[in-house]
Amino acid sequence: MIKAPLKLLSSFRNKMILIFFAITIVPFFLFASYAYMKSVEGIKYANSTFSMSYLEQAKINMETYLNQLNDQINELIGDKSFQQLLEKPPQSSQEEENFAVNMLSLVYQRKIQIDAQQLRVYPLNPELYPTYMRTMGEPTKIGEEEWFREAKKSVVPTWHLSAGGGRDSAPVLSYVKMFTGLHDRNPRGMVVTDLSEERLRRFFSPTERMEGQKFLILDQNGDVLYDTLQNEWTGEKVPSEKLLQLRQRRASGSETLSIRGEKRLIAFVKMDSQPWTIVSLTPLGTLTRPMTELNRLLFFFLAVYLVCSVGVVIYLTVNFTQPVFRLVRLMRKLEEGEFELDVPYQGRKDEIGWLYRGFGSIVRKIAGLIEQSTRAERNKKELEFQVLSHQINPHFLYNTLESIRWKAENHGRSDIGEMVSALGNLLRLSLNQGKDITTVGREIEQVKAYVQIEQARIGMHLRVLYFFDEDMLSMPFMRLLLQPLVENAIQHSIRGNFEKGKVILSGYVEERDLVIEVTDNGRGIPETVLQQLYAESVDRKSARRPGVGLRNVNERLKIYFGPDYQLRIETGEGRGTKITIRHPILDVKEEGAS
């Protein structure tokens, strides 16, 4: 299950598609989301600031109005004629009728001065004023109602929320204030003023109210005394415990809360003169509606952009990634050994064309190299056949030399016989049955055969000394290393002074290497020869010039064992020469090497 997505991501085309969307669609989407979030925050902050400012002003206006209303009611209570009417209950029906006429007349006159929808005055004991109560349209048992009893007990004015007069009438908020006599503290009655919805609306009517926005007045218990949106919650408990908790912690503030499944931006401020809280509730959807429309437009643009991006990806796939996949398939065919390939796109002028032209050139060069290698292999086999056809059997050559030696001895020419015998040994040891590895002992035998031939050729004795550990003689050793060095010492160092000349060969084991030293007391090797020995490239036309044997030995050692095993030469004019060979100890059996 995990390998499938990884396999999809391993494709270059899928990676390019993923990267393309990552650098185009994702940043655009993130930017749009970030811009939307910041815009919503800005709108919320601006609305919250405006709402708090508006509520503070509404609070000031409301408290000013309530203070003025209280002052107007106090003027009524301080009226002597008003106090005299309620100084004592009527004793007869005639007195009660006079009371009703005088009180209603006084209330009517004072109502013009009081900014309220309705003004009512209730005696402390309404049941003693039946005519007056009937005239006002109030029941005589109103004193038994809860709000009336609470107002009689309270020493401060109270508020009462009652239903309107008609079926569709809005609830009425009433200000109830009990009063006493001017010269005594005896309760005499209460003044009730009604604040209608129209009266309250003027404090909560901004020039432009948003859809769904409402203003509330909450009492100390969290009950809604007034709701500007068709009194939807008037008389109910505000449906948000978080709002009530927030109100207890702070005197004012704003927050985003969810009320009845809808997120709303809430701002509130507590009043000073009353235990009320003025609240503004604005649906968050209304605030962000312009941004939502913009967001829809952005998503539409994103969809169009996505379609265009898919088109661009298809174009790139067809024109760029598809040729790359085709090139991969051609390379696999080339890897399988198929060289007759039809290489397309070579006429294109872009990078794809360069790539295919380069691939076509590589295919042609590889095919040419293979053909050249095949031809060289064929020529090599032909040469090998020619060499085999012209090769003399070594046994036949040995037998022929042996016959020459036997005839020389029969004719009393032992010197010729010895020379022919040494030549046969030299030839046999040089060929080594075609193997590159021999032994130290065989190399020394080859040197001795060469020295014997040289002595017979020049007619003088050569002093060549050998000092080797017996254990070394059977160790594997590359053939034709010592004889060229001894030949170089005889031909170029001690030549002309054979009586005093001397060549010493010594060998020993040092760690994992065989160390063989070839020392002579001749005239030394010239500096020019040493420079040619270590030069990277020299003229190889002359096989007889000084140093050719040394160079061949040095090159073979470096090729087989690396530059650490090249010859080390110590020489000087008239001081002789010391050549040191380091040869690694090889794990090869003597039988296989010989």
Identity of the highest mean pLDDT range in 4-8, 167-171, 225-229: 225-229
Residue 397 or residue 265, greater confidence: 265
Tokens (6 digits) for 26: 């994702």
Interval 139-164: pLDDT, tens: 888 888 889 989 888 888 999 888 76
Enumerate the β-bridge partners of residue 193. Answer: 119, 175
The CATH topology of domain 78-199 is Beta-Lactamase (3.30.450)
Nearest to 210 by CA among 83, 81, 43, 64: 43
Which helix H or strand E contains 185, and what residues bound it? none
Tokens (6 digits) for 449: 């055969």
Say what the pLDDT of residue 454 is: 86
Enumerate the β-bridge partners of residue 190. Answer: 122, 178
Do 81 and 101 contact (CB within 8 A), yes or no? no
Sequence ranges of the chain with CATH classification 3.30.450.20:
78-199
Look at residue 182 and tell me whether its pLDDT is greater than 60: yes
Sequence ranges of the chain with CATH classification 3.30.565.10:
463-593
Identity of the highest mean pLDDT range in 89-103, 365-379, 409-423: 89-103
401: confidence class by pLDDT, cuts 50, 70, 90:
low
In the predicted model, what is the mean pLDDT of the chain? 80
| Mean predicted confidence (pLDDT) in 202-213 | 71
d(CA 449, CA 179): 154
Look at residue 62 and tell me whether its pLDDT is greater than 60: yes
Do 159 and 177 contact (CB within 8 A), yes or no? no
Say what the pLDDT of residue 235 is: 85
CATH match of 463-593 with 2.40.50.140: no
Q: Rounded to an integer, what is the distance from CA 565 to the centroid of its chain?
A: 52
Look at residue 440 and tell me whether its pLDDT is greater than 90: yes
Cα→Cα distances 257→34, 73, 242, 269, 289, Å = 22, 40, 8, 16, 18
Residue 166 or residue 411, greater confidence: 411
Q: Which residue has the tokens 């109005």?
A: 65
Say what the pLDDT of residue 396 is: 47
- Give the rounded percent of residues in the chain with a pLDDT score beyond 70: 81
